[in-house]
Amino acid sequence: MTAFPLDAVAAVLAIPAAAVVPLALLPNYRLTARLNVAASLLTFLAALSLLVTPRPAPGPYLLVDDLNIVFIVLNTFVGFTTSVFSASYIAHELEIGRLTAANLRFYHAMYQVMMFGMNLALVSNNIGLMWVAVELATLSTVLMVGLYRTPEALEAAWKYFILGSVGIAFALFGTILVYMAAQPVVQDGASAMIWTVLVGQAARFDPALLNVAFVFLLLGYGTKVGLAPLHAWLPDAHAEGPTPISAVLSGLLLNVALYAVLRFKILLAASPNALAPGPLMIAMGLASVIFAAFMLYRRQDIKRLFAYSSIEHMGIIVFAFGMGGPLANFAGLLHMVMHSLTKAAIFFAVGHVAQVKGTQRIAEIRGLTESHPGLGWAFVVGVIAIAGLPPFGIFMSEFLVVSSTFARHPSLAVALVFGLLVAFGALLLRLTGIAFGEPRGSLAPVKAPYLPMYAHLALVLVAGLYLPPAVVAWFQHVAKLLG
């Protein structure tokens, strides 16, 4: 096994890790905010370089391949744009007294710890190290969810911690079972944790152990994905934590947990006598879509509304990967990217709205397109995009998911379309009240740049109109790897 050289992969990990200490110690907010943005930008540039530089051979701990590079580039890009949004958002929270200078140093340090944990999980070639990295990313976001120190925020953080701990315990047990299945075949304890070794020998593993392992892994990492009925932590975490963390949770952390599920799905697919993972993923994905679609009608808090929208869309993605095959997997990958970009943009808009209006209650937010046209119309575009209307990228990915399902299992396609239509109705109902009509609440201007929000929406629009052939070929290749 070759050692992993110091290169762009090391930079993706080293930059956020190196930024943690100065961010925790420096007292000046403007300086730490800029350092946070700079560290996030450098990490994104290092990730981009992976697309054009030769990939190093996998080592015992780190791996870069065609699957995880999609996640790494997306993760670091949204991490960078969210850090830009966060700089102005958190400055306003400091100005109005909701946060203290000490909390802000803690916040920026935890932001980079979170980025380090997520990046490490994505490039891990060791399934034990991946588990540790996911737990590190989870714990850092738990601490940031409780940043406001209000009773509601602390309750949300504890709920997230407790349910996340149960999920990660299931994932740990599933990881141990995979190790137990591999060790008699591989013979070497350390190698029985290396994913590239596992996938090459999976056909010789005990299928019964792999079956039980995948059930625990799906439940464990599925808790972090936010799949129903394991989703209870997610709406509270979104509603009570700082809005940049809502953007990161929906746009990044859910994807990291999904990545872990996909790794183990590939492992089971390599064992001909093991359980087919598709039906379990289809069932949980479809249940999440339909459940979240109905729950959208009952939300009174704007951040909780889009938290349930995230549950719905993660359900669509898991459903697509459960269906499998080149077209459904392609659609799942595309939907994952489009959802991350769109939902982060929506939370950027929601953060601006909540600050200027002084509330997250939907009933108290009206007429945004008239009172704040630049923000209101961006919000309209974001909701139209997330609802799956053309010409945005989510329309294309949902169309591919539905059409591939109709071709193979029409009854499942009908159930999926039903869930999508129910969710569409809820989002349209909320959009008309929030964006149009007589303005309600503060008319003060938004003192923050819209650039991160506009950049995300522009990418989603361009993807709906034209996907470069290189991107299509890349996603098609990854779709074939997923089986």
For the cut 60, the answer to whether the pLDDT of residue 1 exceeds it is: no
Number of domains in the chain: 2
For the cut 80, the answer to whether the pLDDT of residue 62 exceeds it is: yes
Examine the domain organization and report whether 328 and 460 are in the same domain: yes
Examine the domain organization and report whether 99 and 242 are in the same domain: yes
In degrees, rounded to 5, the angle at the alpha carbon of residue 212 between the alpha carbons of residues 206 and 217 is 115
d(CA 70, CA 65): 9
In total, the chain counts a number of residues equal to 483
Examine the domain organization and report whether 271 and 292 are in the same domain: no
Question: In the listed set 250, 275, 300, which residue is the last one of a domain according to the structure?
Answer: 275
Other CB atoms closer than 10 Å to residue 363's CB: what's the count?
10
pTM for this prediction = 0.94
Question: In the listed set 275, 301, 332, which residue is the last one of a domain according to the structure?
Answer: 275
Examine the domain organization and report whether 218 and 289 are in the same domain: no
Burial class (CB in 10 A: 0-12, 13-18, 19+), 5: exposed
pLDDT at residue number 3: 42
CB-CB contact of 253 with 190 (8 Å): no
The dihedrals phi and psi of 127, each to the nearest 5 degrees, come to: -65, -25
Give residue-wise pLDDT tens across range 287-300. Answer: 999 999 999 998 88
d(CA 82, CA 120): 19
Examine the domain organization and report whether 219 and 359 are in the same domain: no
d(CA 70, CA 50): 10
CB-CB contact of 377 with 410 (8 Å): no
Examine the domain organization and report whether 353 and 249 are in the same domain: no
DSSP secondary structure string for all residues of 261-310: HHHHHHHHHT-TTSPPSHHHHHHHHHHHHHHHHHHGGG--BHHHHHHHHH
Question: In the listed set 239, 260, 275, which residue is the last one of a domain according to the structure?
Answer: 275
Examine the domain organization and report whether 268 and 323 are in the same domain: no
Examine the domain organization and report whether 255 and 311 are in the same domain: no
> Residue 287: which domain range?
278-483
Examine the domain organization and report whether 258 and 306 are in the same domain: no
Examine the domain organization and report whether 44 and 85 are in the same domain: yes
For the cut 80, the answer to whether the pLDDT of residue 461 exceeds it is: yes
pLDDT at residue number 330: 95
Examine the domain organization and report whether 181 and 287 are in the same domain: no
Burial class (CB in 10 A: 0-12, 13-18, 19+), 189: exposed
Average pLDDT, the chain: 90
Examine the domain organization and report whether 444 and 333 are in the same domain: yes
d(CA 24, CA 49): 28
CB-CB contact of 325 with 257 (8 Å): no
Give residue-wise pLDDT tens across range 102-143. Answer: 677 788 899 999 999 999 999 999 999 999 999 999 999 998
DSSP secondary structure string for all residues of 47-114: HHHTTTSPPPPP-SSB---TTHHHHHHHHHHHHHHHHHHHHHHHHHHHHTTSS-HHHHHHHHHHHHHH
Give residue-wise pLDDT tens across range 205-224. Answer: 889 999 999 999 999 999 98
Burial class (CB in 10 A: 0-12, 13-18, 19+), 185: middle
User: Tell me, what DSSP letter sits at residue 445?
Assistant: P
Task: Give Cβ neighbours of residue 123 (< 8 Å, ≥ 6 apart).
Answer: 9, 12, 13, 62, 63, 64, 68, 72
H helices of 187-253, in order, are: 195-201, 207-225, 233-240, 243-248
User: What average pLDDT score do residues 233-256 get?
Assistant: 89
- pLDDT, greater one: 188 or 39: 39
**Going along 309-386, which residue ranges are E strands?**
none
For the cut 90, the answer to whether the pLDDT of residue 273 exceeds it is: no
d(CA 268, CA 178): 10
Other CB atoms closer than 10 Å to residue 54's CB: what's the count?
7
pLDDT at residue number 448: 76
DSSP secondary structure string for all residues of 108-168: HHHHHHHHHHHHHHHHBSBHHHHHHHHHHHHHHHHHHHTTT--HHHHHHHHHHHHHHHHHH
User: 3-state class of 366 per DSSP?
Assistant: strand
- pLDDT, greater one: 147 or 44: 44
User: What average pLDDT score do residues 446-464 get?
Assistant: 90
C-alpha closest to that of 236 among 151, 168, 167: 151
The dihedrals phi and psi of 111, each to the nearest 5 degrees, come to: -60, -45
